Structure 1
Amino acid sequence: MARPMGAVRLKKTNPLTLAVGAALCIFILYFLLGSSTPDFSASRKASAASHPLSPPTSPFRKSTGGGKLKPPPVTRYNLNNVTITPKPLENRENILILTPMARFYPEYWDNILRLEYPHELITLGFILPKTKEGNDATRELQKQIAKTQKSGPEKDRFKSIIILREDIDAPLISQDESERHKLKNQKVRRAAMAKARNSLLFSTLGPSTSWILWLDADVVETPPTIIQDLARHDQAIIAPNCFQRFWNSDKKEMDERPYDFNNWQDSDTALEMAKRMGPDEILLEGYSEMATYRTLMAYLFKEDGLLHEELPLDGVGGAALLVKADVHRDGAMFPAFPFYHLIETEGFAKMAKRLGWQPVGLPNYKVGYPPPSGQRY
């Protein structure tokens, strides 16, 4: 037979606890039932609208009262009005310069500042890895941006600057040149680079962008008129020739050598190699273990050649590359997977060609990389 339960003594509640609970209930009821009128000030709207990628709109809230709220504005962009011409300067066309950055080179920033294209028409976009080197590079980049945008001469200030951080783990611990260029590291490294390029591109490509200039963070020498020089060709995709400075111990002086081997014309050998490859294998250029016998633009420079001589290309590098915005809007991106056995920038060239856009190179128009680590400039 069950015993009857004894009386239960309730503990007296602290008055302070009751007061806090009552205040919290009142706040919740006010939030749920109170006025739903947006409290976004005109200054906040203006601040958002000042960014070229942020149209002037505020969040839409449902009305719980009798009145009806006006819906947020719909911004329409007529991309047919965006010009992409061989005369971008005269037509004041907007340029987007995009740079994946793992290390910060002061010479890169100095070179950007020397560009003779109006800076008020240039938007800069960067993406950096979440590594120690990436954190260091971000801090140095932010210092230079603050110096230029806040206290620098008006003519040096850019239209806007966007910094992104990668949301994927870096495939390589070290960004040393010797480590980055090992054959065994290329597939994973370039797949990660492709993802970074795509994230940067589709986060920054605005409705008024006419041209995208891809520029590596270690390209520290370009002509100040590179944008106008490349755009004058009116090509969908155009790449200059990339060289690296180095200390020539034989000449006892600084010299230069071909550097970017991803600008090439295909060969029968490479095409046959691709046919025998598995679906996940990729062709890479510049390695003796994988001799493709392609025609490399890096070796076609002529000291007395025509500066603006054009060369049709099947593959391109991303060191310096001017692209019409319509190419990317058409869907051409940087595959992070084997695309016809090509990846990243070379895969981009293949994809663009299949969409009807022909890449072109300028073998006698040079841009420069700094010397290898440890060598003087």
Structure 2
Amino acid sequence: MPTQRQFRRTSPITYVFAITLFIGLVYLIFSGDDTSPLPTKQVMGRQGTATSDRSPPSLPFRKSNSKGPIVPPPVVHYRMNNATQSTDPLKNRETVLILTPLAKFYQEYWENLLKLSYPHDLISLGFIIPKGKDGNAATAALQAQVAKTQAGPQKKRFASITILRQDTESPVSQVETERHKMENQKARRAAMAKARNSLLFTTLGPSTSWVLWLDADIIETPPDLIQDLARHDKPIIVPNCFQRHFDKDLGTWEVRPYDYNNWVDSEVAQEMGSKMANYDILLEGYAEMPTYRTLMAKLNDESQSKDMVMQLDGVGGTALLVKADVHRDGAMFPPFAFYHLIETEGFAKMAARLGWKSWGLPNYFVYHYDE
């Protein structure tokens, strides 16, 4: 008669358990090589929304009216190598996150956004708005357009829209003459940097391929803006930002350079920085601080191709396309003096320290609102 120990050793349960473990081990080994697309649909509800408010931030979420227990979010595996950032984002169905710090709402901005030819179901929008009377007005105007668009034709609807409200008011008046005064720049741009970082860290999802920073007062861009910038395959790339304005003397509409933050550094600027205190910043476009940098805004040449690219040391944020991996690598917008640079120019410097280069298109234009 077999002993109890011998019985345990020859029990069928032991064989079943061993076979189960073996099958599980084989599954884990071979499933790691799966190259299927990012499984974003696994966390989507029947209406194309996230099933939980704790799902990835770039997916839309609507609160349920059910009074039952809160359903925990699903466990989703993201294979980040599958989040491509290619020269043909349309063919590869790459997702784009358009982020806009918004202190004042311009209808022309929204209308231009709707004209973008990139499929809207691949675009998520993110906005951050300061508190206060002006911020309340901007929020109300934005929400009205969001409601209209998202209830309209399916082709026009965006994949998701996130609106954040800051807990502080803008430290500087949003009137153009005030916000561009030199003495207001450090406080203004530090606040802008904090807003950008809050917006970025809240909305960047694991399936995001590209981040397009688009200022709220950019009212005219080519419809193929995203495709045109992405096909250059640069980690950071900016178009040239100009402004249409009415010349009273000539009686005609003219164009002039607007964004002077896209530049190539100079020895003069570096020398100035070496003599500054650690907390001081260099600013561009002010006669009181002549840096003699090479400004992309001054290099446009209509006889040259709009695809001509140049390497930059500083970038502006009026229209700025960034591969999502650059932000994931840690490049953000310093609200402090970073090598005597701040906000978007500080971002370019921080990205360069991480090995990412910035590029510009001097003959490819977007246009700023004329106040």
TM category (shorter chain) comes to: 0.7 to 0.9
State the shift of 1:71 in Å: 8.9
Alignment match of 1:53 (pick from 39, 53, 57): 57
Could you say if the C-alpha distance between residues 166 and 46 of structure 1 is closer, same or farther in structure 2, counting changes exceeding 3 Å? closer
Determine the structure 2 residue equivalent to 1:135: 136
Determine the structure 1 residue equivalent to 2:168: 168
Please give the TM-score of this superposition, normalised by the length of structure 2. 0.82
Q: What is the alpha-carbon distance in structure 2 between the residues aligned to residue 223 and residue 123 of structure 1?
A: 19
Give the counterpart letter for 1:128 in structure 2: I
Give the counterpart letter for 1:137 in structure 2: A
Determine the structure 1 residue equivalent to 2:307: 308
Q: Does 1:158 align with 2:158?
A: yes
Q: What is the alpha-carbon distance in structure 1 between the residues aligned to residue 143 and residue 264 of structure 2?
A: 39
State the shift of 1:49 in Å: 7.1
3-state secondary structure, aligned to 2:370: coil
Could you say if the C-alpha distance between residues 73 and 271 of structure 1 is closer, same or farther in structure 2, counting changes exceeding 3 Å? same
Give the counterpart letter for 1:160 in structure 2: S
Kept in 1, the 8 Å contact 2:241–2:258? The answer is: yes
Determine the structure 2 residue equivalent to 1:205: 204
Determine the structure 2 residue equivalent to 1:27: none
Give the counterpart letter for 1:102 in structure 2: A
Q: What is the alpha-carbon distance in structure 2 between the residues aligned to residue 111 and residue 192 of structure 1?
A: 26
Q: What is the alpha-carbon distance in structure 2 between the residues aligned to residue 43 and residue 177 of structure 1?
A: 45
State the shift of 1:153 in Å: 1.2
Q: What is the alpha-carbon distance in structure 2 between the residues aligned to residue 318 and residue 275 of structure 1?
A: 26
Bigger radius of gyration among the two: 1
Determine the structure 2 residue equivalent to 1:228: 227
Matches within 5 A, 1:38-117: 47-48=51-52, 52-53=56-57, 73-117=74-118
Counting aligned pairs with the same residue, the percent is 64
Kept in 1, the 8 Å contact 2:99–2:199? The answer is: yes
State the shift of 1:257 in Å: 0.3
Give the counterpart letter for 1:355 in structure 2: L
Could you say if the C-alpha distance between residues 93 and 314 of structure 1 is closer, same or farther in structure 2, counting changes exceeding 3 Å? same
Query: What number of residue pairs does the alignment pair up?
Result: 317
Could you say if the C-alpha distance between residues 253 and 75 of structure 1 is closer, same or farther in structure 2, counting changes exceeding 3 Å? same
Give the counterpart letter for 2:193 in structure 1: A
Q: What is the alpha-carbon distance in structure 2 between the residues aligned to residue 244 and residue 52 of structure 1?
A: 37
Kept in 1, the 8 Å contact 2:190–2:335? The answer is: yes
Give the counterpart letter for 1:53 in structure 2: P
State the shift of 1:281 in Å: 0.3
Determine the structure 1 residue equivalent to 2:119: 118
Kept in 1, the 8 Å contact 2:245–2:254? The answer is: yes
Please give the TM-score of this superposition, normalised by the length of structure 1. 0.81
Could you say if the C-alpha distance between residues 244 and 92 of structure 1 is closer, same or farther in structure 2, counting changes exceeding 3 Å? same
Matches within 5 A, 1:7-26: none
What residue ranges of structure 2 are gaps of 5+ in the alignment? 1-44, 61-70
Could you say if the C-alpha distance between residues 74 and 186 of structure 1 is closer, same or farther in structure 2, counting changes exceeding 3 Å? same
Give the counterpart letter for 1:48 in structure 2: S
Kept in 2, the 8 Å contact 1:230–1:238? The answer is: yes
**Partner deviation per Cα, 1:262-283 (whole Å, 9 max, x = no partner):** 0000000000000000011000
Could you say if the C-alpha distance between residues 51 and 110 of structure 1 is closer, same or farther in structure 2, counting changes exceeding 3 Å? farther
State the shift of 1:111 in Å: 0.2
